[in-house]
Amino acid sequence: MKFIIYLSSASMYFQPEMLKEMLISFRKNNEANGVTGMMLFSDGSFLQVLEGENNIIDTLIKKIKKDSRHHSVVQIAEGSITERNFGKWSMSFKTVSPEEFKELKGYINPWDPNFLSEMPYNPQHPALDILKAFAQNSRMR
């Protein structure tokens, strides 16, 4: 199994309804393919962590890089894992409009002091520190 973390910029302004539709689609596809992870969205930037079988994640990142809804995809980290850090989440999500999404399954508020506390923290996994840094930086704006 492997994980991958990437950062990208939105190619357009995303209305909350568009983000919601994307999230529903991502979750459906991720559940079907055994992919778990988290996506954060702030000020037109996406940060995403994906976990799953090597070939599935490799295929998915190629598809993501070709997706016209965003550009400047930068792969931040990639590595092997023996267990999932996001096993309960087919795609957890956070956007800058928390009121729109707080009722969605898997929604996490990174402004909450207990952000990511419901998962077992593995200090060896770079995804958790990167997600927390992204959320903290978004809070400062």
Nearest-angstrom CA–CA distance, 119 and 69: 30
pLDDT tens digits, one per residue of 38-67: 888 877 888 889 999 999 999 999 999 999
pLDDT at site 38: 86
* CA 62 to chain CA mean position, Å: 16
pLDDT at site 111: 53
| CA torsion, ordered 93, 99, 105, 110, to nearest 10 deg | 40
pLDDT at site 138: 56
Backbone angles phi, psi at 134, to 5 degrees: -60, -45
Average pLDDT over residues 127-139: 65
> For 2-16, 72-86, 88-102, 124-138, which range has the lowest pLDDT when averaged over its residues?
88-102
* Whole-number average pLDDT of the chain: 77
Q: Is the pLDDT of residue 140 over 50?
A: no
pLDDT tens digits, one per residue of 20-32: 888 888 888 999 9
pLDDT at site 110: 55
Pairing status of strand 36-42 against strand 2-10:
unpaired
Domain of 100?
Answer: 2-139
pLDDT at site 42: 75
Nearest-angstrom CA–CA distance, 80 and 28: 24
Q: Is the pLDDT of residue 108 over 70?
A: no
Q: CATH no. for residue 87?
A: 3.30.70.100
The structure's pTM equals: 0.66
Q: Which two tokens stand for residue 113?
A: 């002091």
Nearest-angstrom CA–CA distance, 42 and 9: 10
Nearest-angstrom CA–CA distance, 101 and 8: 21
Count of the separate structural domains present in the chain? 1
